[in-house]
Amino acid sequence: MPYETVLLERDGNVALITINRPDKLNALNPQVCRDLLGALNEAACDDAVGAIVITGAGDKSFVAGADIAAMSKMSPMEGRAFADLGHAIGDTIAGCPKPVIAAVNGFALGGGTELAIACDVIYASDKAKFGQPEVKLGIIPGFGGTQRLARLVGLQKAKELVFSGDTIDAAEALRIGLACAVFPHAELLAKAKELARRMAAAGPVAVAQAKRAMNHGYDLPLPAALELEKQTFAALFGTHDQQEGMGAFLAKRKPTFQGK
């Protein structure tokens, strides 16, 4: 289904979602958020898709933040509704049974960093810039940044970034664990798709359950999280994919997973 501000394409078993508002550096207004949600749900429900890559249109920006012009006119209730929309994107990515990779191809500021850190893996171009500049506008991060950033880089580093509004480059993002890997700009999308393809080639039920156990377990006390792992591990022995994966290894052939 076509979206006004987002492109959804399929390349084999990888879905590519491109936020397509380059004249505004792909800033997230309510329409972009709704389109992104629609595209994410469509890709999540497509049996032919094994992994999703999100990137920004143009050469300059992943997402330069939530749309400041749109936000400048919002009432508290409208601000709350906008935050709910932004959080729905993060929740959808977290709940998506397929891996979601952010290919950060330029500015990822405010909502751009928040979108990236809601994804499972961040691959960045050497031109990428990250930051949470909201306090410079008199607001705070509202799409998950006050919580997810600290979980990724630690509370102190997250406070340094959120309280100052500083922008950091790709090398610093890599150093602090915000980006998983950095590539020359021209290679970014290919590298992100290669990773997505490797993930999509693995057992889909196993990947989905690993994501669920890791996301859900991260916020549980360790004993409960380890119990979740054991239950998930055990349940996978009842799947076709486990029989196929191990059978194929023992028969020295490639597995054909059915996602069952």
Catalytic residues: 114, 134
Residues paired with residue 76 on neighbouring β-strands, in sequence order = none
Q: Closest distance between ligand COA and the C-beta of residue 89, in Å? A: 15
Determine, following the binding rule CB under 6 A, whether residue 56 of this chain makes contact with ligand COA: no
Left (φ > 0), alpha (ψ -120 to 50) or beta: where does 58 sit? left
Contact window for ligand COA (CB under 6 A) among 132-140, 144-152, 200-208, 248-256:
132-140
Which H helix or E strand runs over 56? strand 51-56
The angle subtended at Cα 125 by Cα 44 and Cα 12, nearest 5°, is 35
Q: Closest distance between ligand COA and the C-beta of residue 106, in Å? A: 9
Of positions 64, 85, 104, 207, contacts ligand COA by CB under 6 A: 64
Q: Which two tokens stand for residue 42?
A: 């469509």
Q: Which of 118, 25, 5 is nearest to 66 (CA)?
A: 25
Q: Closest distance between ligand COA and the C-beta of residue 158, in Å? A: 16
Which H helix or E strand runs over 129? strand 129-131
Determine, following the binding rule CB under 6 A, whether residue 138 of this chain makes contact with ligand COA: no
Q: Closest distance between ligand COA and the C-beta of residue 34, in Å? A: 17
Q: Which residue is nearest to ligand COA (CB)?
A: 65
Q: Which is nearer to ligand COA, 87 or 197 (CB)?
A: 87
Q: Could you give the CA distance from residue 134 to residue 162 in angstroms, rounded to a whole number?
A: 8
User: Contact positions toward ligand COA, by CB under 6 A?
Assistant: 24-25, 27, 64-69, 107, 109-110, 133-134, 137
